[in-house]
Structure 1
Amino acid sequence: MALIKSREEILHMHRAGKLLAACHREIAGRIRPGATTLEIDRFVEKYLERLGATPEQKGYMGYPFATCASVNDVICHGMPNDTPLKEGDILTVDMVVNLDGWLADSAWSYPVGKITSQAQSLLQATMDALLEGIRQAKVGNRIGHISHAIQTFAESRGYAVVRQFIGHGIGRRIHEEPAVPHFGPQNSGEMLEEGMVLTIEPMLTTGSWRARIDPDGWTARTVDGSLSAQYEHTIAITRNGPLVLTEQ
């Protein structure tokens, strides 16, 4: 059962979301060939500290970093490292911001320098799939309306939707009910109610939707080495439609 947030609680989450969006804008200017994901991670931690926030991921189930940094065939939960980014890479940075006890969660995929047309098309389709899902996040619909819209759009463009990793409710904890798959039948899942706050975070690939986990226990890759991208927003269900709390 989803936890319903009051208008005031959503305002708290919106403040966290605005801070997170500002951090992503700063990150965008730091992604270039030769930069490392570990440098970006350290910047994020210092940036949040300066503004009175903390990275909720750090320490979560033992995860040691402020961000997840996923390059090329890494779907999600990539661990920052000191390997320089290369021209043509695509990098997804995912983070959860805690501001005064309330959370916001957003992932963004970035081109590193000039990328191929295939990679650019994947980024655009993944962003568009997220927007298709958000449009369905309204009172009276079901979770399945979001799921089905994303899957239908992605597959119509020739992309696969990763199934092992899904969206979720969020509030004072990273993962709350309800689960938000990015695939499945339309009339499935919990009914959407005013005051729900969810993450919608489709991960698309140019090949198989299946993932494998690296020996580090975190890094999830496509089984066939195909490219993957992800975009994620935290959204609130309101009587006036979806409110994006992490808008850039």
Structure 2
Amino acid sequence: MKIPSGPLAWYFYTSILEARMVELKTASEIAAMRTTGAFVAQVLDDLQARARVGVNLLDLERRAREMIAERGAESCYWDYAPSFGRGPFRNVICLSVNDAVLHGLPHDYALRDGDLLSMDMAVSIDGWVADSARSLIVGTPRAEDQRLIEATERALAAAIDAARPGDRLGDVSAAIGDVAAAYGYPVNTEFGGHGLGRTMHEDPPVPNVGRRGRGLRLRPGLTLALEPWFARGTDKIVHDPDGWTLRSADGSRTAHSEHTIAVTDGAAAILTAAA
């Protein structure tokens, strides 16, 4: 689940963060987040295998609840009530279909052939959070949808590669924006990635577009949720009447990819990688 992150405010904000305390995690704390991340990946793997033509979104929600309860985990979404949603959120996963991309409220809808489904989930285990999202095609794929998903996945990989110690947060954001530009997709600047660890949303915000050499300097122990998302035809979004689901303003299809990572002494560690 995303938080608002306008670019101008972000540059001002991250310059202030240089002089503030951004919590850096220890090796043991990152290991605990990796345990949570492995579980999040397990749930998404399970739901992806179940997401077939005719399956109801509510069945996927129920399965996610079942797995969370069996693991003794805690959903970060349940009872979440930020200023940008009509809270409290009473589900454990965001399920967004086709032109819906963020904060999709699970509802009575049977998946159809060719649907593009985005799943986004964050949980806490023993006090440590991990957050991940992925998009997939149900049944028969469309080439344009495969390209859209591929763009988010490549943008995520580029952002992870840019998250190296000594570089700046703007380098990470710029890596995402560069991939979007290469594919010809506009980038929304209202919602972006974020820090996380003890809670789902921590400093710093991570926009999906930025300028290299700007923003917070990356240090080992910084943990981030990087989550590029694109709509094929617009960077504008609209709210559903449910008060949560965000859709592309022009009705074009959307895709979303996300991993929780930790900055290390070298390449970033992906904490929500599938087994």
TM-score, normalising length: structure 1:
0.98
d(CA) in 1 for partners of 2:108 and 2:242?
Answer: 16
Partner of 1:188: 214
TM-score, normalising length: structure 2:
0.88
d(CA) in 2 for partners of 1:98 and 1:32?
Answer: 28
Partner of 1:24: 44
Task: Tell me how far 1:161 sits from its aligned partner.
Answer: 2.0
Task: Tell me how far 1:87 sits from its aligned partner.
Answer: 0.4
d(CA) in 2 for partners of 1:142 and 1:157?
Answer: 24
Task: Tell me how far 1:240 sits from its aligned partner.
Answer: 2.3
Q: Deviations over 1:61-83 (max 9, x none)?
A: 11110000111101200100111
Partner of 1:209: 235
d(CA) in 2 for partners of 1:245 and 1:98?
Answer: 13
Q: Which runs of 4+ in 1 moved over 2 A?
A: none
Partner of 1:37: 57
The answer to whether the 8 Å contact 1:90/1:110 transfers is yes
The letter for the 1-side match of 2:68 is L
Task: Tell me how far 1:105 sits from its aligned partner.
Answer: 0.1
The letter for the 1-side match of 2:258 is E
Given candidates 162, 172, 175, the residue that maps to 1:136 is: 162
d(CA) in 1 for partners of 2:169 and 2:241?
Answer: 33
The letter for the 2-side match of 1:212 is V
Secondary structure of the residue that 1:29 maps to in structure 2? Answer: helix
The answer to whether the 8 Å contact 1:163/1:210 transfers is no
Tell me, yes or no, if structure 1 residue 150 matches structure 2 residue 176. Answer: yes
The letter for the 1-side match of 2:248 is T
Task: Tell me how far 1:51 sits from its aligned partner.
Answer: 1.4
Query: Cα RMSD (Å) of the superposition?
Result: 0.9
Given candidates 99, 123, 132, the residue that maps to 2:149 is: 123
Partner of 2:7: none
Partner of 2:3: none
Q: Percent identity?
A: 39
d(CA) in 2 for partners of 1:27 and 1:167?
Answer: 23
Task: Tell me how far 1:234 sits from its aligned partner.
Answer: 0.2
Tell me, yes or no, if structure 1 residue 197 matches structure 2 residue 223. Answer: yes
Task: Tell me how far 1:3 sits from its aligned partner.
Answer: 1.2
The answer to whether the 8 Å contact 1:73/1:222 transfers is yes
Tell me, yes or no, if structure 1 residue 89 matches structure 2 residue 138. Answer: no
d(CA) in 2 for partners of 1:226 and 1:178?
Answer: 30
Task: Tell me how far 1:162 sits from its aligned partner.
Answer: 2.4
Aligned pair count reads 248
* Segment drifting more, 59-68 vs 153-162: 153-162
